[in-house]
A and B are shown apart, each in its own frame.
Chain A
Amino acid sequence: MRFESPDTLEAASKLLASATGDARVLAGGTDLLVQMKSEIVTPSLIVDIKRVPETRTIKEEGGGFRIGAAVTGAELKEHAALKAAWPGVVEAANLIGSTQVQGRCSLGGNLCNGSPAADSVPAMIAAGAVATVVGPNGRREVKVEDVMIGPRKLSLQKGEIIASFYLPPRPPRSADAYLRFIPRTEMDIAVVGCGVNLTLDASGTCIAARVGLGAVAPRPLLVEDAAKALIGTKVDDAALANLSAAARAACKPIDDKRGTIEFRIDVAGVLAKRTALIALERARKK
């Protein structure tokens, strides 16, 4: 098993593109090493991207934030400005695994692992995050909701690596929130994950919204009907009921060891409402 740690993404991309066997990107390793241990994957090449500076920094850029794909959950939590602007995204990222996992896990890894239940992805989708991808044909941008196309299937081509994510500038009275349902209090894979991002006008009416749902379909969803249920309303009980219904309707879950279809649908409706209320309260304070 070969191990390389280049210092540019172009070099990393070349290594991956030219690999003959199974080649994997290593960021935090909190998914890859687990899969290697249970022999789900046996890569012939591991490309560690952590020596590439652009994957490891958080920068304010154009009024928004550019977050390196290999920045750890712990580092996200420690960035006061990011946390203030995007508490939902940071919370979502901080729900990945344990404190120990937080010391290593990354937004890039969480997305590219391709699990429909990834904790950070619904919040990133709700935030309108855009991924910058480096590949054999240069750089391109992909909306986060377009990266995963199915369980363990990405829209990225061979040799493409996510370099960073861009979170757009925040209009006034904007806030996000993320909630997930798990059977314990920590350490579980999300049974349902919900991210809500909304903007209010001066009168308290919702003028923009995005809702992401995770673990209820083959990939994390951008639920436009759920957003429509909030836009133009004061996020009152009626709007929340419509939001819940839209969230429920968007689910295409499976029965598995973590939850039943019926349960996931019910909980999606409940979480959508609760998450929206947190986002609302935060937005009102901004």
Chain B
Amino acid sequence: MQERVKGPKYNIIGTRPIRPDGVDKVTGRAKFGADHRVAGQLIGKVLRSPHPHARIRSIDVSAALKLPGVKAVVTRDDFKDQASEFVPAGEMLINYRDVVRNIMAREKALFEGHPVAAVAATTDAIARAALKLIKVDYEILPHVIDPVEAMKPDAPLLDEEMFTAGVTPPPTKPSNVAKRVEFTLGDVDKGFKDAEVVIEREFNTKPVHQGYIEPHACVASVSEDGSAELWTTTQGHWIVRAHCARLLGWDITKLRVTSSEIGGGFGGKTVVYLEPVALALSKKAHRPVKMVMSREEVFRASGPTSGANVRVKIGARKDGRIVAAEAVLKFQAGCFQGSPVQPACMCAFAPYDLENVKVVGYDILSNRPKVAAYRAPGGPIAEYAVESVVDELAETLKIDPIELRLKNAAKEGTKAAYGPKFGPVGLIQCLEAAKESAHWKAPLGKNQGRGVAAGFWFNIGGETTVNLQLNEDGTVTLMAGTPDIGGLRASLAMMAAEELKIPYEKVRPIIADTASLGYNFLTGGSRSTFSSGMATVEAARSIIKQACGRAAKLWEIPEEAVTFEDGMFRPAGENAGKFQPMSLADIAKVAGKTGGSIVGVGAISAQGAAPSFGVHIADTEVDPETGKVSVVRYTAIQDAGRAIHPSYVEGQFQGGAAQGIGWALNEEYIYGPDGKLQNPGFLDYRIPVASDLPMIDTIIVEVPNPRHPYGVRGIGETPICPPMAAINNAVRKAIGIRMFELPLSPPKVLKAIKSAKKA
């Protein structure tokens, strides 16, 4: 692994210690969502609509209730309707009116798999048998899946009261288009007039799932006084608490949510599915209820990301300077509004310093599960299309694709189409690293081609609380609230140890539950190392300040006269040398005598999140007789700001790349004409397996974020943005044909090869 790091040398930051939660994970001791059990628990199961679109005339649960062993059944009647209200969920918005319908269908079943009822019974077998006894009277309605089809005026309507927002004048007829958004800079029409070359292309992508290996799971326990405990696998337990309290009409403090270890989320676990249902069942049954989704349920009924249609037009002068850029994005939202079309619009041209940009997006309903966030929501789709057109532009102008990007690269001071001016950013450094890399210079074999693409994600900060407890022996307990989805606890412990100048092993980080810590927004938006890190630093500095105060008290000198140097508290100024320096452990030992326990709190709304740019290089080999595309070499280069724990930064680069590769080559939801999902399992929903991938080389670039005490940028999402275009561009070089549709499955590629031969 290579690093291009020019920063200061820290004691702990930048090293690679073993993660504190590691031993439990390699021994099977760590507890994930389905690993928890409670005495007396019932098993909950969900009855799901077999139809993609149907009015629910009636639900008769009487036979199910009579089955011995069934303790409770819930339907739409157990959830009060919610008024329309948008709230943030990761980097997307959700609406409570939609959420209450998403977890339990009300007027209509809007996708195959939509929950219609749920039972809690003493065994799994009885619960499943009970589901079969529930009689639902459906009036089957025509359905629509594809977004372009759903936009047509005669398409079946999912919501008869949906009038497209963002259109002037507002439409008089309802449609499946929930929203139109637009981002403009300058004047694209004028820009295109100055262009000497214009390339316009249309791309189509299919919906893909986050593919976390751990299905959704929770255990809910409601007591007789209405207080409740919930154990769940989630990216944000305060969000779960808020949603459940809202949907069930409870005071927030009544519900205590503990996040289990999480077996992957990638955005898909930023929303609730089972939790409100399990709580409702538990309340009714007066017993704890455990609910676990099967893999099939995960695919049929949890939110994947959008499939989309994207049209991109770029105009440039012959010297390579892009003078105008335009895109129209049509994104599938699923059965409720809220696709990531807006962030997609924001990201589309972000790597380029442009004067004239216009990006328009449409959020479109269709009879599929409501999409949930998937790693850089919307970004990969928009960037796939744009980076493919930029590649074609480079080819047309006979300019090297890295050079073309360097000529137009966003840098400090560039105004992005979606508003902000960039602070220091590392795109140019990433492009240069790509140019100088061994990969870029390596020779290619027969039937092989090389592609390059840039990527961008803006990253977020947000509400974050961290508590640091100074224990009596000078060790520290760190309570964070952003669930650790891939090494966070190591990074937080490292930052705390670096600040407090104590060994890394003396810090024990945990993820606290909602009753034990102040509010935390969820883990998403690549924010956890950035925000929880910032809060950790603040909490650590508070401990130091308090410890200085305690030393001052003991020495009877003013607090300002105490310094903290090399891990020791020393009297300074005129008192220098007068008292024995004290370590943090010394201070901790007498904390009770000097005012009580020393606790540092960082309770912030983290500001200053900075974007992360990346550049990926992919080599593909295409079998010209079968159209099979193999990835034979891959390098992921990205600006991390500061890599706190480089192994976990590399891991994010590699994991995002692998997901992007799967999205490019084989992953897609396949629907039959009946609107039913044909591949709800890992057999036919094909994520990359170990033998599909080469080693994924990484290069960490560091352009520190000046707004973070250690220069951290969020890095988790950017890596999924470049792969699809990098591979698409590589395939172009391998077979001489540009493809405009994902996935690049062998039948499509072979068909293109054959058509090209005939032509």
Answer yes or no: A and B touching, Cβ < 8 Å.
Answer: yes
Cα(A38)–Cα(B300), bound, Å:
13
User: What's the nearest-Cβ distance from chain A to residue B608, in Å?
Assistant: 42
A187 touches B750 (CB 8 A): no
Cα(A174)–Cα(B79), bound, Å:
71
Task: Give 11 CB contacts A-B under 8 Å.
Answer: A37-B294, A38-B296, A183-B666, A184-B666, A185-B689, A189-B684, A257-B670, A258-B684, A262-B751, A263-B750, A270-B625
A-chain residues with CB within 8 Å of residue B630 when the two chains form the complex: 185
With an 8 A cutoff between CB atoms, is A267 at the interface?
yes
With an 8 A cutoff between CB atoms, is B575 at the interface?
no
User: What's the nearest-Cβ distance from chain A to residue B625, in Å?
Assistant: 4
B689 touches A266 (CB 8 A): no
Against A, the Cβ 8 Å flags (1 = close, 0 = not) of B622-636 are 000111101000000
User: What's the nearest-Cβ distance from chain A to residue B551, in Å?
Assistant: 60
B666 touches A263 (CB 8 A): no
The 6 closest A-B pairs by CB, nearest first: A263-B747, A185-B691, A270-B625, A257-B670, A260-B747, A257-B678
Cα(A220)–Cα(B750), bound, Å:
24
Pick the contact of B626 from A38, A184, A187, A267 — CB < 8 Å?
A267
B-chain residues with CB within 8 Å of residue A262 when the two chains form the complex: 747, 751
CB interface residues, B 676-696, toward A, < 8 Å? 678-679, 683-684, 686, 688-689, 691-692
With an 8 A cutoff between CB atoms, is A188 at the interface?
yes
Cα(A276)–Cα(B54), bound, Å:
53
With an 8 A cutoff between CB atoms, is A103 at the interface?
no
Cα(A259)–Cα(B686), bound, Å:
13
Cα(A76)–Cα(B692), bound, Å:
25
B746 touches A263 (CB 8 A): yes
The verdict on A257 contacting B684 (CB below 8 Å), with A186-B691, A270-B625 known, is: yes
The verdict on A187 contacting B683 (CB below 8 Å), with A262-B747, A270-B626 known, is: yes
The verdict on A183 contacting B683 (CB below 8 Å), with A262-B747, A263-B747, A266-B750 known, is: no
Most buried by A among B294, B665, B745: B745
Against B, the Cβ 8 Å flags (1 = close, 0 = not) of A244-286 are 0000000000000111101100110010000000000000000
With an 8 A cutoff between CB atoms, is A181 at the interface?
yes
B745 touches A183 (CB 8 A): yes
A-chain residues with CB within 8 Å of residue B754 when the two chains form the complex: 266
A-chain residues with CB within 8 Å of residue B625 when the two chains form the complex: 266-267, 270
Against A, the Cβ 8 Å flags (1 = close, 0 = not) of B748-759 are 001100100000
The verdict on A183 contacting B691 (CB below 8 Å), with A257-B678, A257-B679, A262-B747 known, is: no
User: What's the nearest-Cβ distance from chain A to residue B108, in Å?
Assistant: 26
Cα(A185)–Cα(B684), bound, Å:
13
Main secondary structure of the interface of A (DSSP, over half): loop
User: What's the nearest-Cβ distance from chain B to residue A260, in Å?
Assistant: 5
B628 touches A183 (CB 8 A): yes
B686 touches A183 (CB 8 A): yes
User: What's the nearest-Cβ distance from chain B to residue A87, in Å?
Assistant: 20
B-chain residues with CB within 8 Å of residue A270 when the two chains form the complex: 625-626
Interface residue tally of chain A, by bracket? 20 to 34
CB interface residues, A 21-72, toward B, < 8 Å? 37-38
Q: Known pairs A186-B691, A187-B683, A267-B746; list 12 more (Cβ under 8 Å).
A: A181-B628, A185-B691, A187-B689, A189-B683, A257-B670, A257-B678, A258-B684, A259-B746, A262-B751, A263-B750, A263-B751, A270-B626
User: What's the nearest-Cβ distance from chain A to residue B357, in Å?
Assistant: 37
Main secondary structure of the interface of B (DSSP, over half): loop
A184 touches B692 (CB 8 A): yes
CB interface residues, B 657-675, toward A, < 8 Å? 665-666, 670
B-chain residues with CB within 8 Å of residue A263 when the two chains form the complex: 627, 746-747, 750-751
Most buried by A among B679, B688, B747, B751: B747
Cα(A183)–Cα(B666), bound, Å:
7
Cα(A267)–Cα(B679), bound, Å:
23
User: What's the nearest-Cβ distance from chain B to residue A46, in Å?
Assistant: 16
User: What's the nearest-Cβ distance from chain A to residue B515, in Å?
Assistant: 37
Closest to B623 in A: A270
Cα(A197)–Cα(B9), bound, Å:
65
Cα(A185)–Cα(B629), bound, Å:
10
Against B, the Cβ 8 Å flags (1 = close, 0 = not) of A148-191 are 00000000000000000000000000000000010111111101
A-chain residues with CB within 8 Å of residue B627 when the two chains form the complex: 263
Cα(A262)–Cα(B745), bound, Å:
14
Cα(A194)–Cα(B747), bound, Å:
18
Cα(A136)–Cα(B666), bound, Å:
47
Against B, the Cβ 8 Å flags (1 = close, 0 = not) of A176-218 are 0000010111111101000000000000000000000000000
A-chain residues with CB within 8 Å of residue B747 when the two chains form the complex: 259-260, 262-263
Closest to A274 in B: B625
User: What's the nearest-Cβ distance from chain B to residue A148, in Å?
Assistant: 20
User: What's the nearest-Cβ distance from chain A to residue B635, in Å?
Assistant: 21
User: What's the nearest-Cβ distance from chain A to residue B425, in Å?
Assistant: 36
CB interface residues, B 378-425, toward A, < 8 Å? none
A186 touches B628 (CB 8 A): no
B684 touches A184 (CB 8 A): no
User: What's the nearest-Cβ distance from chain B to residue A139, in Å?
Assistant: 36
B-chain residues with CB within 8 Å of residue A38 when the two chains form the complex: 296
Closest to B688 in A: A184
Against A, the Cβ 8 Å flags (1 = close, 0 = not) of B716-759 are 00000000000000000000000000000111001100100000
Pick the contact of A184 from B294, B670, B689, B750 — CB < 8 Å?
B689
User: What's the nearest-Cβ distance from chain B to residue A119, in Å?
Assistant: 13
CB interface residues, B 159-196, toward A, < 8 Å? none
Closest to A266 in B: B750
CB interface residues, B 263-305, toward A, < 8 Å? 294, 296
Closest to A37 in B: B294
Cα(A188)–Cα(B667), bound, Å:
13
Most buried by A among B627, B630, B754: B627
Most buried by A among B670, B679, B689: B689
Cα(A32)–Cα(B625), bound, Å:
35
Closest to A189 in B: B683
A183 touches B746 (CB 8 A): yes
Cα(A259)–Cα(B627), bound, Å:
12
B-chain residues with CB within 8 Å of residue A185 when the two chains form the complex: 630, 689, 691-692
B689 touches A186 (CB 8 A): yes
B-chain residues with CB within 8 Å of residue A259 when the two chains form the complex: 746-747
B-chain residues with CB within 8 Å of residue A183 when the two chains form the complex: 628, 665-666, 686, 745-746
A-chain residues with CB within 8 Å of residue B666 when the two chains form the complex: 183-184
Cα(A232)–Cα(B666), bound, Å:
42
Closest to A258 in B: B684
CB interface residues, B 604-647, toward A, < 8 Å? 625-628, 630
A-chain residues with CB within 8 Å of residue B686 when the two chains form the complex: 183-184, 187-188
Most buried by A among B626, B686, B689, B751: B626
A-chain residues with CB within 8 Å of residue B628 when the two chains form the complex: 181, 183
Cα(A270)–Cα(B627), bound, Å:
11
A-chain residues with CB within 8 Å of residue B683 when the two chains form the complex: 187-189
Cα(A191)–Cα(B625), bound, Å:
14
Cα(A266)–Cα(B754), bound, Å:
10
User: What's the nearest-Cβ distance from chain A to residue B675, in Å?
Assistant: 15
User: What's the nearest-Cβ distance from chain A to residue B690, in Å?
Assistant: 8
User: What's the nearest-Cβ distance from chain A to residue B292, in Å?
Assistant: 13
A-chain residues with CB within 8 Å of residue B679 when the two chains form the complex: 257
Cα(A37)–Cα(B747), bound, Å:
31
Cα(A179)–Cα(B118), bound, Å:
47
User: What's the nearest-Cβ distance from chain A to residue B25, in Å?
Assistant: 21
Closest to A273 in B: B625
Most buried by B among A181, A183, A258, A262: A183
Cα(A266)–Cα(B749), bound, Å:
12
Cα(A188)–Cα(B746), bound, Å:
13
Most buried by B among A38, A181, A257: A257
CB interface residues, A 87-140, toward B, < 8 Å? none
User: What's the nearest-Cβ distance from chain A to residue B747, in Å?
Assistant: 4
User: What's the nearest-Cβ distance from chain A to residue B28, in Å?
Assistant: 17
Cα(A189)–Cα(B679), bound, Å:
12
Cα(A260)–Cα(B754), bound, Å:
15
